[in-house]
Structure 1
Amino acid sequence: MKLFISADIEGVTGVTSWTETNISNPESRPFIKQMEKEVNAVCEGAFIKGFNEIVVKDAHETGRNMDIHAFPEYVRLNRGWSGHPLAMIEGVDNTFEAMAFVGYHSGASKGTSPLSHSMHVSKINQISINGMEASEFLIFYYAGLYVGVPTIFVSGDEGICEEVHKVNPNIITVSTKEGFGKGTINKNPQKVLNHLKEAFNTLELDKEKYMEPLPDEFVVEINFKNPSIAYWASFYPTAKQINDTTIRYISKDYMKVLTMFSFLIQ
């Protein structure tokens, strides 16, 4: 069986400041190591469960954070960004049985993480899809369904875990920390690793529990921090500016939504 993992860092235990997420800053080094360990724990648990081929997308910032030498031989690591609209899950296709998200975080403007954002930290106040506030998890959860691959597991801050349960309560989650203002309360790193690995023990590999039909239509609204960016974005084909800082884009094809995101907010 094949598992696809998308890995981010803002939801990794301990990570609290933007400086701790920037690979060029020495402060990030222990947290990148923890990112590798958390991804590895999920790989180990998944391998024991029967996933003998795992592809990991390094989906944070440069896409070149984790060291390939940190992973066992049954894991392939997708590094960097090609420009494909699948972005944070680039490389997934319908040959995979399932997807997992590791180190994910609360969406833009949420108070449940000091690092809350959706896709672009400096551009975006909020993204919504069909009226639901859209985190990076939700954006790529839908993308997985588009290619026929359901999400079975998510780890990250308490806020994203709560969102996941609202989207599909069957998805297993592991919370790494809670966020308050500019601070976090973190779980013990080793306990988190144990929970990540053990989570797959309880996993029921029943695709029908995780697979659901995509909406017939996607109404996407992007609220930008700067009105001039909203004006610029309104010239994307079929997008419309609905107020000073917000554009609306409507499509029945989710790949067109992802393509719009790749041009406007990545």
Structure 2
Amino acid sequence: MKVFISADIEGTAGITNWDEARRDHRDYAEFREYMTDELVAACEGAKAAGATEIVVKDAHASARNLNLAKLPSYVRIIRAWSGHPDLMMFGIDSSFAAALYTGYHNKAGTDTNPLAHTLTGTVSRLLINGEVASEYTLNALCAARYGVPSAFLAGDAGMCAEAKMLVPGIGTVATSEGFGPATSSLSPQAAVVAIRDGVEAALSRDLKACLPKLADSYELVIEFTTPIEAYRGSWYPGMEHPAARTLRFTAKDFFDIQRAIRFVVIGS
């Protein structure tokens, strides 16, 4: 069994402030270790459930966050950004039995995590077929393009609840809950135990209920925080610019939606 893990940091147990997620700040070193420990716990749970290959995508900011010295010998790690539209899921393909997510956070505009956002700070809302989407939404649909079910997610309580709305069968561990700029969180040690056990349980079940259905067509709407980003992105082929801060794009294939997001939101 091959397992793919996408690892972020803002949904890691205990994280509360942006300084803890930025590699140029002194607080980052501590929370980088917590991010790594949660990822390793997910790897151990997958191994216990029968995984024979595990590929990890470091998926936060520089994509060079995980402490490699802590990774088990059976893990292959993908670091930095290739430029491929799969973004946080780069490296996944149809050979994987399941996708897992650690350190995940809720979407921009929600109050369940002080660090909630969607891809960048320039996005106010990103909608797929009329529903406001999180990074998890995009990544679970990316996995579904390859026929890979999303079996487990660890992150803030709001993200866990929303993950179940898209994939009812997904296993989750709520690491924290936001209260304005504050959080109530599991301890890092408790999170590690819960994630290890949660992943093993999730991968030991029938994963058929963990594969979201792909739509026949897609509408992407991006609402930016300022008109500047929308104007720049409006030159993408096929992109509509219906309002000062808003872009709209339609496609039959979800990969075309991913490609538009990669160039319009992420940029170079």
**For residue 56 of structure 2, what is the aligned residue in structure 1?**
56
SS of 2:27's equivalent? Answer: helix
**For residue 238 of structure 1, what is the aligned residue in structure 2?**
238
**For residue 181 of structure 1, what is the aligned residue in structure 2?**
180
Partner Cα separation in structure 1 for residue 228 and residue 69 of structure 2: 44
**For residue 262 of structure 1, what is the aligned residue in structure 2?**
262
Per-residue deviation, 1:228: 2.1
- Residues 25-44 of structure 1, C-alpha deviations (whole Å, 9 max, x = no match): 11111100000000000100
Partner Cα separation in structure 1 for residue 201 and residue 72 of structure 2: 23
Instruction: Confirm whether residue 102 of structure 1 aligns to residue 102 of structure 2.
Output: yes
Per-residue deviation, 1:165: 1.1
SS of 2:183's equivalent? Answer: strand
**For residue 170 of structure 2, what is the aligned residue in structure 1?**
171
Per-residue deviation, 1:96: 0.6
**For residue 15 of structure 1, what is the aligned residue in structure 2?**
15
Q: Given the two structures, how large is their TM-score scaled by the length of structure 1?
A: 0.97
Partner Cα separation in structure 2 for residue 43 and residue 95 of structure 1: 18
Equivalenced residue count is 265
Partner Cα separation in structure 1 for residue 37 and residue 212 of structure 2: 31
- Output the amino acid matched with 1:225: T
Once the two structures are superposed, the pairs formed by residues 106-185 of structure 1 within 5 Å of their partners are 106-121=106-121, 123-185=122-184
Q: Which runs of 5+ in 2 are unaligned?
A: none
**For residue 46 of structure 1, what is the aligned residue in structure 2?**
46
Per-residue deviation, 1:208: 1.8
- Output the amino acid matched with 2:223: N
- Residues 105-162 of structure 1, C-alpha deviations (whole Å, 9 max, x = no match): 01011111111100112x1101010111110000111000011211000000011001
Per-residue deviation, 1:10: 0.2
Partner Cα separation in structure 1 for residue 24 and residue 205 of structure 2: 39
Per-residue deviation, 1:187: 1.1
Contact 2:168 2:210 (C-alpha < 8 Å) held by counterparts = no
**For residue 253 of structure 2, what is the aligned residue in structure 1?**
253
Partner Cα separation in structure 1 for residue 212 and residue 157 of structure 2: 24
**For residue 75 of structure 1, what is the aligned residue in structure 2?**
75
- Output the amino acid matched with 2:246: T
Per-residue deviation, 1:5: 0.2
> RMSD of aligned C-alpha atoms?
1.0
Contact 2:241 2:247 (C-alpha < 8 Å) held by counterparts = yes
Per-residue deviation, 1:233: 1.3
- Output the amino acid matched with 1:162: A
**For residue 91 of structure 1, what is the aligned residue in structure 2?**
91
- Output the amino acid matched with 1:103: G
- Residues 186-240 of structure 1, C-alpha deviations (whole Å, 9 max, x = no match): 1121111111011134324423222243011111100001112212212211111
Q: Given the two structures, how large is their TM-score scaled by the length of structure 2?
A: 0.96
Give the direction of change, closer, same or farther, for the CA distance of 1:201–1:72 in structure 2 (3 Å limit).
closer
Partner Cα separation in structure 2 for residue 174 and residue 119 of structure 1: 22
Of stretches 18-27 and 203-212 in structure 1, the one that deviates more from structure 2 is 203-212
Per-residue deviation, 1:81: 0.7
- Residues 66-106 of structure 1, C-alpha deviations (whole Å, 9 max, x = no match): 12221111101111111111010100001110100100001
Partner Cα separation in structure 1 for residue 231 and residue 102 of structure 2: 35
- Residues 168-191 of structure 1, C-alpha deviations (whole Å, 9 max, x = no match): 221000000001111111112111
Of stretches 180-189 and 87-96 in structure 1, the one that deviates more from structure 2 is 180-189
- Residues 1-43 of structure 1, C-alpha deviations (whole Å, 9 max, x = no match): 1000000000001111111101121111110000000000010
**For residue 197 of structure 2, what is the aligned residue in structure 1?**
198
